């Protein structure tokens, strides 16, 4: 066991950021934004250490998570083109809602997977990338 890494305050910070990303799915992403800001502010402090790769992993996780959550709501744009036809509106609304729920559900699973994978690598004192 590498005690210098185990006692590094950046290790604790990295773990806390992973936990914030997991909890973010219950806060509408607010904690993920806070974690992202901390990632960018503290990034220079972890340069050259194993935590640098974890910070890159967390930052990429956030941006992909945001991308997929935006994609989830794109089908709702088609509601504006339904006009007065209530049957078309109902069909598009149902399809858009179903698509949105599936994409957001998968993105939640994905962000939790990435955070847990990062926590496991952090616990083993390994960088995210070789």
- The reported pLDDT for the residue numbered 108 is 93
Q: Is residue 52 part of a domain?
A: yes
Is residue 103 domain-resident?
A: yes
- The total of structural domains in the chain comes to 1
What DSSP string describes 62-111?
A: HHHHHHHHHHHHGGGGGGGG-TT-HHHHHHHHHHHHHHHHHHHHHHHHHH
Q: Determine, yes or no, domain membership for 130.
A: no
Query: Does residue 113 sit within a domain?
Result: yes
Residue 41 lies in a domain: yes
Residue at 63 is within a domain:
yes
Domain extent, residue 88, equals 3-123
Closest by Cα among 120, 114, 121 to 32: 114
| List of the chain residues with pLDDT < 70 | 1-7, 82-84
Rg (alpha carbons) of the chain, rounded to whole number: 19
**Residue 8 lies inside a defined structural domain of this protein:** yes
Instruction: Identify whether 26 is part of a domain.
Output: yes
The separation between the first and the last C-alpha atoms of the chain, rounded to the nearest angstrom, is 19
Assess contact for 21 and 108: CB atoms under 8 A.
no
pLDDT of residue 4: 58
């Amino acid at each position: 066991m590498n005690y210098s890494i185990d006692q590094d305050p950046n290790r604790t910070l990295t773990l806390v950021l992973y936990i914030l990303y997991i909890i973010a799915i219950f806060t509408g992403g607010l904690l993920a934004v806070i974690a992202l800001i901390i990632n960018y502010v503290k990034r220079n402090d972890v340069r050259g250490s194993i935590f640098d790769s974890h910070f890159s992993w967390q930052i990429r996780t956030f941006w992909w998570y945001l991308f997929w959550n935006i994609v989830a709501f794109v089908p709702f744009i088609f509601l504006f083109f339904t006009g007065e036809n209530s049957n078309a509106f109902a069909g598009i609304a149902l399809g858009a809602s179903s698509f949105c729920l599936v994409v957001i559900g998968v993105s939640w699973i994905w962000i939790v997977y990435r955070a847990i994978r990062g926590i496991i690598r952090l616990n083993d004192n390994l960088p995210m990338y070789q």
